[in-house]
Chain A
Amino acid sequence: MLASRQPIARLAATSSERWWHRPRQLIRKMPTRVILSFVILAVIVVGAVFPMGFTSFDPNTPTFSARLTAPGDPTFVLGTDDLGRDLFSRVLYGGQASLVIGVFAASLGLVVGTAAGMVAGYFGGWLDHVIMYLVDVQLSLPFLLLAIAVALVFGNGLLVMVVIAGLATWPGYARLCRGLILSLREYEYVTAARSLGAGSGRIILQHLLPALVAPLLIFLTINMGRVILIESALSFLGIGIKPPTPSWGGMIDQGRSLLGVAWWVSTVPGVVLTLLTLAIGSIGDWLRDVLDPMLKTE
């Protein structure tokens, strides 16, 4: 076992220490932008998970007397849409779709892509060819168009969206893992593990996977932003989450025809969506700097 630990540590420890040995230092050195991003993320997550803690309005109940109320109103803090529905509560509930997609779709891509990439890299041969061929085929299609075609065939709804957005990201993981495994499997500790009688499954899961955690975490964060953007774009186009279920993309679409009279109907969900994706993006960027000196953007 000792033989397996040491080289992995050497790989990851291009900087003097491994990152989880110095969490306090890490937080102290965190740039303001990143702290702000975590705060935004936390606020949005709490708001979406416990919307009833912040608003007593139902996101789908119209108040006809209060249609198109501007933000800043004492009752409707962020204003109302053309049906008189409270935008604040719709934004809170709408966040649920984005977060569910963000977590499940990104995880789906992670699991499928990592498994495929590791198998391709470790076993090589025809398996490698087939998996990389599938990656090539998917990457040769502009993804949103493929998503549109799939949505036409399988209909829309949360589950289809999770699958579509999840599939968007698997080729990236597959390529990343395959490349890393190709170089890792040449290490002595892998040979050592094999000569001690470890099977392929054990080598992949116990000896290779841990070395991939840092790059995968970075990738996962970046892809969460991507899948949230894909879902919101599809919902905006009317192909994603179906109204009346509130989704930010759908709300932005709804406000499009009202731009001249009520700017806030699109702007409120749009700003929240932008804040969320910006926050995730800058957390991902920071993780890359901290966790993986090799991948640094410089």
Chain B
Amino acid sequence: MINVLLIRVVRTLLTLLGVLVLAFALGRLSGDPAALLMPLEATEADIEQARRQLGLDRPLPEQFVLYTADILRGDFGRSIAQGRPALEVVLGRAPASIRLGLYSFIVAVVLGVPAGMLAAYQRNKLADQLLMSLSLAAQSLPSFFMGITLILIFSVQLGWTPAFGDDTWRHYLLPIFTLSVYSLAIIIRLTRSSLLEVLNQDYVRTARAKGLPETRVRNVHTLRNALIPVVTVLGLQLGSIISGAAVIETVFAWPGMGALAVTAVNQRDFPVIQTIVLLSAFAFAFFNFAVDLLYVWLDPRVRL
């Protein structure tokens, strides 16, 4: 068990190393960091000196080691647009994103699992067909257009919810709904199919045959096993929520990291983008690691 855990940790760290290499390469391709940091009137000699100070005259592998050391110390460079440390700029926007993402995630799970169960138990009946069609549609909807349509209906026409910002609970309704729809659809479909599979197993028939009440069969015997595949996709869904957030935050002018990333592109503020990419990759890796642990706890047969 400890060995297995260790291997998992090493793999996660290796993956993160790959992400660092990628970020480093993109950073070097994005332009000369020394020239970007210096004022416009700086001379060639000034830039050359800044280069040496930043270690840019050394071979690339050495630069990468320096870069990694900086990142590990929490030095993600300076935001070009704001002049402050990029990490500070990004962390200032993090709480709004985490709140939105977390609530959307909770909504997707809390609604998705029961809806998937309902579909499975009502298989091929009206409720099932409705849920399946809706979730198929939801997976191929452009989320940003859905957000805009919701703003048009509920904010512009009906005036029920505010369209922009994050001040009151009403501000949360539309963004959470929009952001959770995709994951919700995936969770519904997966819960349904995995529950249907479990319901076909011999031990479920045995449980029924020995006269257990249906509620006990459903809640005790099948649900836990049916949820195992669902748990695995939860990890992946976090990624789609982070990706979706970049778009949804822009639609609803949400003061989070996703909207910041979009602004940063237009300002060509690479350090900020890089910080957001790295932080999300770290969060994503950590989350998936936690999901793996949960997985083992749910299903003792599983080896990581």
Interface residues of A (CB under 8 A from B): 133-134, 136-137, 139-146, 148-154, 225, 229, 232-233, 236-239, 249, 252, 255-256, 259-260, 263, 266-267, 270, 273-274, 277-278, 280-282, 285, 297-298
Q: Which chain B residue shows the least CB distance to A239?
A: B265
- Of A146, A252, A280, the residue contacting B145 (CB under 8 A) is A252
Find chain A residues with CB under 8 A from B266 CB: 238
- Of B16, B152, B236, B250, the residue contacting A263 (CB under 8 A) is B152
Find chain B residues with CB under 8 A from A153 CB: 26, 29-30, 270
A137 close to B280 (CB less than 8 A): no
Determine if B242 is an interface residue (Cβ-Cβ < 8 Å).
yes
Given contacts A140-B16, A152-B268, A236-B247, contact A280 B140 (CB under 8 A): yes
- Of A144, A152, A270, A278, the residue contacting B149 (CB under 8 A) is A270
- Of A133, A140, A148, A281, the residue contacting B265 (CB under 8 A) is A148
A229 close to B142 (CB less than 8 A): yes
B140 close to A133 (CB less than 8 A): no
Shortest distance between the CB of A115 and any CB in chain B (Å): 20
Find chain B residues with CB under 8 A from A236 CB: 144, 247, 250
Find chain A residues with CB under 8 A from B240 CB: 142
B285 close to A277 (CB less than 8 A): no
Given contacts A133-B18, A145-B276, A238-B262, contact A277 B148 (CB under 8 A): no
Q: Can you show 6 pairs from A to B with CB atoms below 8 A apart?
A: A141-B277, A153-B30, A233-B143, A237-B246, A239-B262, A273-B142
A141 close to B284 (CB less than 8 A): yes
B246 close to A144 (CB less than 8 A): yes
Q: Which chain B residue shows the least CB distance to A285?
A: B136
Shortest distance between the CB of A98 and any CB in chain B (Å): 11
> B15, B26, B145 — which one has the most chain A CB atoms within 10 A of its CB?
B145
Determine if B14 is an interface residue (Cβ-Cβ < 8 Å).
yes
Interface of B is mostly: helix
Interface residues of B (CB under 8 A from A): 11, 14-16, 18-19, 22-23, 26, 29-30, 132, 136-137, 139-145, 148-149, 151-152, 156, 189, 193, 196, 236, 239-240, 242-244, 246-247, 250-251, 261-262, 264-266, 268, 270, 273-274, 276-277, 280-281, 284-285, 288
Given contacts A149-B26, A277-B140, contact A252 B148 (CB under 8 A): yes
B145 close to A270 (CB less than 8 A): yes
B281 close to A149 (CB less than 8 A): no
A149 close to B274 (CB less than 8 A): yes
Find chain A residues with CB under 8 A from B16 CB: 140
Find chain A residues with CB under 8 A from B145 CB: 252, 266, 270, 273-274
Give the CA-CA distance A255 to B251 in the complex, in Å: 12
Q: Which chain B residue shows the least CB distance to A296?
A: B193
Find chain B residues with CB under 8 A from A280 CB: 140
Give the CA-CA distance A144 to B276 in the complex, in Å: 12
Q: Which chain B residue shows the least CB distance to A228?
A: B142
- Of A141, A150, A151, the residue contacting B281 (CB under 8 A) is A141
Find chain A residues with CB under 8 A from B156 CB: 259-260, 263
Since A140-B16, A225-B140 are in contact, a sample of 11 more A-B pairs with Cβ atoms closer than 8 Å, ordered by chain A residue number, is: A134-B18, A142-B242, A142-B284, A148-B265, A151-B265, A152-B273, A236-B144, A238-B262, A266-B152, A270-B142, A270-B149
A143 close to B243 (CB less than 8 A): yes
Q: Which chain B residue shows the least CB distance to A260?
A: B156
Closest 9 CB pairs of A and B: A281-B140, A137-B18, A144-B243, A270-B145, A142-B242, A142-B243, A277-B140, A153-B30, A152-B265
Find chain B residues with CB under 8 A from A229 CB: 140, 142
- Of A136, A255, A278, A297, the residue contacting B140 (CB under 8 A) is A278
Give the CA-CA distance A57 to B276 in the complex, in Å: 43
Give the CA-CA distance A293 to B142 in the complex, in Å: 29
B141 close to A274 (CB less than 8 A): yes
Shortest distance between the CB of A153 and any CB in chain B (Å): 5
- Of A136, A139, A149, A225, the residue contacting B273 (CB under 8 A) is A149
B148 close to A142 (CB less than 8 A): no
A136 close to B148 (CB less than 8 A): no
Given contacts A148-B261, A281-B140, contact A259 B18 (CB under 8 A): no
B141 close to A137 (CB less than 8 A): no
- Of A136, A141, A249, A281, the residue contacting B136 (CB under 8 A) is A281
Find chain A residues with CB under 8 A from B268 CB: 152
B18 close to A142 (CB less than 8 A): no
